[in-house]
Structure 1
Amino acid sequence: MTDEPEFDLGPVPHRPPIATELVERLIAAQFPEWAALPVRPVDTPGWDNRTFHLGDDMLVRLPSAGEYAGAVAKEQRWLPVLARQVPLPIPAPLGEGLPTADYPHPWSVYRWLDGEPAATAKVEDTGAFAVAVADFLLALQRVDAADGPPPGLHNWYRGGPLRTYDAMMRSAAADLPDGAALLDHWEAALAARWTGKPVWFHGDVAPGNLLVRDGRLSAVIDFGTCGVGDPACDLVIAWTFLPPAGRRLFRERLAVDPATWQRGRGWALWKAAVTNDRPVLDALLADD
């Protein structure tokens, strides 16, 4: 039994394709001052959003389904507030697009941030990188959380209880050869209850959302799952990207208590299990 709230994630959203021509029409109709700029899709398509270059210095970001559209107003409202208080560049909203008959969701135009995702970039010093990520998260957590968005469908309940993903985790573990061991770690994460004060979190601190220039962390992008709640979800990068020495530095810099670290491991475990990410699962099982 648990007194944690239970949330229904619902079915996997249907995500129809978004054509370049549609984006061109949206820009021409709602931002005619940019209508002459070329539109082209980015190299790596996202899941929650489809992103397109707009000229050389801007991007257009469109939710891929209605279930993801709730993040638009949140980002428009809060990213300018957060940007003033974190040590690295984050996306700056330049305009908010309205739904139309052809595209029924709100959407955004942002300033383009240069950098290569850490997933493919060469990081010169993973220890320094780990400390830089931790310092960014510490600054984010210091931002006044009053009136900030609590966990909800807008961010798929990041910052809320891990138990929201319990059924999904158990289903994934049933198909994995070391599922029993993974569930032992999962149970430990569920038992590590959060009793802290809600703080700001990013919600998806993944290698694809950390930009690198000259071998160093240069910007943090994609705040669609940000919110105010339990920051343990932001610890996932410790296992998905950082080597053991960097992981230790990351934990020390954040001064993370054992229960929060255990919940962070749970978030990483869930994501790795449902995607069958073997290297991350092995890292989690080895990191006792």
Structure 2
Amino acid sequence: MGSSNQWDAEWEVSDDLAHKLITSQFPQLASKSVKKLGHGWDNTVYLVGTEYVFRFPRREVAIHSLRMEGKILPKLKDYLSIAYSKPIFFGAGNYDFPAPFLGYPYLSGKFPIGLTDKQRKLSASTLAIFLKSLHAFPVQIAQENGVQHDHRNLTDIATRKEKMQKFLSDIALHFSEEEYRALSNYLEQLTTEKVKQKDVFLHGDLHFKNMLVDENGKVSGIIDWGDINIGHPACDLNVVYSFLPPDARSSFFEEYGEVDEETKILARLIAIYIPILIMMQAIDDHDERLIDEAKANIKRALAD
């Protein structure tokens, strides 16, 4: 891979800087420890004490998304059936750090990595109820608050397929021959080029790094809402394929409601596309645990 990637940081937030920004703007937190939890494409995350997490943008493109979270997430409280990241601290950039930042109550749980199919089935109804309610959030309210409309053009399957073929060739060495062949065959047989646009309110980036599960492996929290947008429900429904095993999908749709075949085609595509992106960053970070989980997500999404 090249020396410059989509996920490379424009700003690094050190432990000292995070502590300085948090305690100077929120002195009531001055006695609490500040510990880095990790980072994604757009944000670096810090645990403050044991009660809060703060997210700091790593790239300029993330600033708009963070501001949008601050405006829209508090309005979701009556719609969501799973705990989620609702901001309560609103930090401002200064000469030390050029971007705003947000603080949220800490949500307990762990990432759904290495779960069994039996554990995953526990969340079929939970995810269906959550997404049915989320997708019912009024689009008009979202628009009035400046939420973007399908900013990634996800309904254009042909373009996404082309990108996936390029990505796959870049990381081919990290797949077994059987895994690579299964992915290649899937892409070759994918003939749909575009699906009809549908507009619902979306989380926009629902995958295993933005989900938390309890001690039983059941989904208990949804985090990182930076890709909130209005678009096709298949974007969020990708978890039906990437997270749930095949024999739990009918239970999901019984609760959520049936969807058309185009939606299922796009949802499966995104269920493969997102883990490929996660895998690419994990390879760059030499994170074998995330590489393996991303591959497991892809394998599950390909299964019927």
Provide the TM-score with structure 1 as the length reference: 0.83
Which segments of 5 or more consecutive residues in structure 2 lack a partner in the other structure? 173-179, 281-293
Aligned residues: 271
The residue that corresponds to 1:258 in the other structure is 261
Check 1:227–1:59 CA distance in 2 against 1; reply closer, same or farther (3 A cut): same
Check 1:126–1:95 CA distance in 2 against 1; reply closer, same or farther (3 A cut): same
The residue that corresponds to 2:288 in the other structure is none
The residue that corresponds to 1:210 in the other structure is 211
Q: CA deviation digits over 1:99-143, x for unaligned, max 9?
A: 122211111011111122222567864333111111100000111
Distance 2:212 2:223 in 1: 8
Distance 1:195 1:133 in 2: 23
Distance 2:97 2:150 in 1: 23
The residue that corresponds to 1:17 in the other structure is 12
Displacement after TM superposition at 1:50 (Å): 0.8
Distance 2:169 2:206 in 1: 27
The residue that corresponds to 2:149 in the other structure is 151
The residue that corresponds to 2:24 in the other structure is 29
Q: CA deviation digits over 1:35-61, x for unaligned, max 9?
A: 22211112x433321111112211111
The residue that corresponds to 2:106 in the other structure is 112
Q: CA deviation digits over 1:235-263, x for unaligned, max 9?
A: 22223222121233223433121110001
Distance 1:273 1:220 in 2: 21
1:248 aligned residue (221, 238, 250): 250
The residue that corresponds to 1:130 in the other structure is 124
Displacement after TM superposition at 1:20 (Å): 0.8
Distance 1:95 1:163 in 2: 41
Which segments of 5 or more consecutive residues in structure 1 lack a partner in the other structure? 1-9
Q: CA deviation digits over 1:194-219, x for unaligned, max 9?
A: 243x1111122222322222423222
SS for the counterpart of 1:93 is coil
1:77-116 alignment runs, 5 A limit: 77-116=71-110
Moved more, 117-126 or 244-253: 117-126
Displacement after TM superposition at 1:29 (Å): 2.2
RMSD between aligned residues: 2.7
Check 1:284–1:31 CA distance in 2 against 1; reply closer, same or farther (3 A cut): closer
Distance 2:236 2:206 in 1: 6
Moved more, 208-217 or 131-140: 208-217
Moved more, 30-39 or 113-122: 113-122
2:55, 2:101 within 8 Å by CA — same for their partners in 1?
yes
1:172, 1:273 within 8 Å by CA — same for their partners in 2?
yes
Q: CA deviation digits over 1:138-193, x for unaligned, max 9?
A: 0001111114212366xxx27654455344223124455436423234433x34x1
The residue that corresponds to 2:237 in the other structure is 235
| Identical pairs, percent | 25
1:186, 1:269 within 8 Å by CA — same for their partners in 2?
no
Displacement after TM superposition at 1:13 (Å): 4.9
Specify the code of the residue in structure 2 equivalent to 1:227: N
SS for the counterpart of 2:123 is helix
The residue that corresponds to 1:6 in the other structure is none
1:167-182 alignment runs, 5 A limit: 167-174=162-169, 176=172, 177-178=180-181, 180-182=184-186
Provide the TM-score with structure 2 as the length reference: 0.79
The residue that corresponds to 1:183 in the other structure is 187
